[in-house]
């Protein structure tokens, strides 16, 4: 969410610009920011967000008379990372390979991600207080969209098995609720393990991120039903938003012209 995003941006900027000592804000140049982007090359999208946050800090400092208004914002001379739209569809075969190697908690996380189409941040924070009268209620952290899922079938089996009397459905080894970063780290380690056993799948596995399950859920819902079904599942206000998550087109029958 926004608060966590700000905290993460501050942490990254502080780590880079405060080592070995604090860099004066007014002395930071486009060259320094380019070095920062290179330093954060493993997370290009996050780096772009952090650069934008730096720009906001700089402009606020100018308005607060900490920096002269005549001084140019160094971000203006920086070319951000080009982020390509993800179009990776996780087919059932690859999903099954990862699922077979996962422990029970990761399997449950993957199942719920696919059953509900929700973001990792909303899945890892599921709490029994969201369950009422056979309904799982979710308020999305990113958009505040509200969704209600009937607790039946596979979803019921999972919730009946893992839900405590009162508390979070998913916990770490210390008994604390999960967070999105921990799920990401677990999934990365799981991928590495599978790559060692199945090197022929290395490229496919490297392109498989846990968040891709939201797109898989949307795509599968569309292929089996329609875009409106996928839209409702993801909690979008328009199918235009949902289109970004649909990563396969339906199979069409060939047109056979009638003979005269």
pLDDT at residue 1, as a whole number: 53
Rounded-to-integer distance, Cα 208 and Cα 237, Å: 27
Q: For residue 20, say if its preceding peptide bond is cis, omega within 30 degrees of 0.
A: yes
CATH 1.10.443.10 intervals, the chain: 92-243
Enumerate the β-bridge partners of residue 168.
127
What DSSP letter does each residue of 199-243 carry, written as one string? GGGHHHHHT--TTHHHHHHHHHHHHHS-HHHHHHHHT-SSHHHHH
pLDDT at residue 2, as a whole number: 65
**Greatest alpha-carbon span in the chain:** 84
Torsion 107-111-117-121 (CA) sign: negative
Q: Is the pTM of this model over 0.85?
A: no
- Alpha-carbon distance values, 200 to 87, 186, 191, 195, 206 (Å): 21, 21, 13, 8, 12
Q: Which residues of 69-95 are buried (b: 16+ CB within 10 A; e: fewer)?
A: eeeebbbeebeeeeeeeeeeebeeebb
Rounded-to-integer distance, Cα 235 and Cα 143, Å: 9
DSSP 165: S
CATH superfamily, domain at 92-243: Intergrase catalytic core (1.10.443.10)
pLDDT at residue 77, as a whole number: 87
- Alpha-carbon distance values, 62 to 25, 66, 71, 72 (Å): 11, 6, 9, 10
pLDDT tens, per residue, the chain with 260 residues: 567 778 888 999 999 999 888 999 999 999 999 999 999 988 888 899 999 999 999 999 999 999 988 899 999 989 998 877 788 999 999 999 999 999 999 999 999 999 999 999 999 999 999 999 999 999 999 999 999 999 999 999 999 999 999 999 999 999 999 999 899 999 999 999 999 999 999 999 999 999 999 999 999 999 999 999 999 999 999 999 999 999 999 999 998 888 87
**Three-class DSSP category at 246:** coil
pLDDT at residue 69, as a whole number: 83
């Amino acid at each position: 969410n926004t608060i966590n995003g700000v905290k993460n941006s501050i942490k990254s900027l502080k780590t880079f610009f405060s080592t070995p000592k604090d860099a004066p804000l007014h002395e930071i140049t486009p060259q320094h920011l380019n070095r920062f982007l290179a330093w954060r090359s493993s997370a290009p999208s996050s780096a772009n967000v952090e650069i934008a946050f730096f720009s906001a800090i700089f402009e606020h400092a100018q308005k607060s008379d900490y920096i002269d208004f005549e001084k140019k914002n160094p971000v203006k001379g920086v070319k951000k990372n080009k982020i390509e739209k993800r179009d990776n569809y996780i087919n059932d075969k690859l999903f099954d390979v990862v699922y077979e190697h996962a422990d029970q908690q990761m399997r449950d996380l993957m199942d719920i991600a696919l059953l509900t189409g929700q973001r990792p941040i909303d899945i890892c924070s599921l709490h029994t207080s969201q369950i009422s009268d056979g309904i799982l209620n979710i308020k999305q952290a990113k958009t505040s969209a509200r969704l209600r899922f009937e607790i039946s079938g596979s979803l019921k089996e999972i919730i009946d098995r893992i839900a405590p009397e009162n508390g979070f459905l998913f916990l770490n080894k210390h008994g604390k609720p999960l967070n999105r970063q921990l799920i990401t780290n677990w999934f990365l380690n799981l991928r590495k393990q599978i790559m060692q056993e199945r090197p022929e799948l290395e490229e496919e596995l490297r392109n498989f991120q846990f968040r891709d399950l939201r797109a898989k859920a949307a795509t599968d819902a569309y292929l089996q039903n329609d875009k409106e079904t996928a839209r409702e599942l993801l909690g979008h206000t328009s199918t235009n938003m949902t289109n970004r998550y649909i990563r396969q087109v339906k199979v069409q029958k060939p047109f056979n012209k009638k003979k005269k």
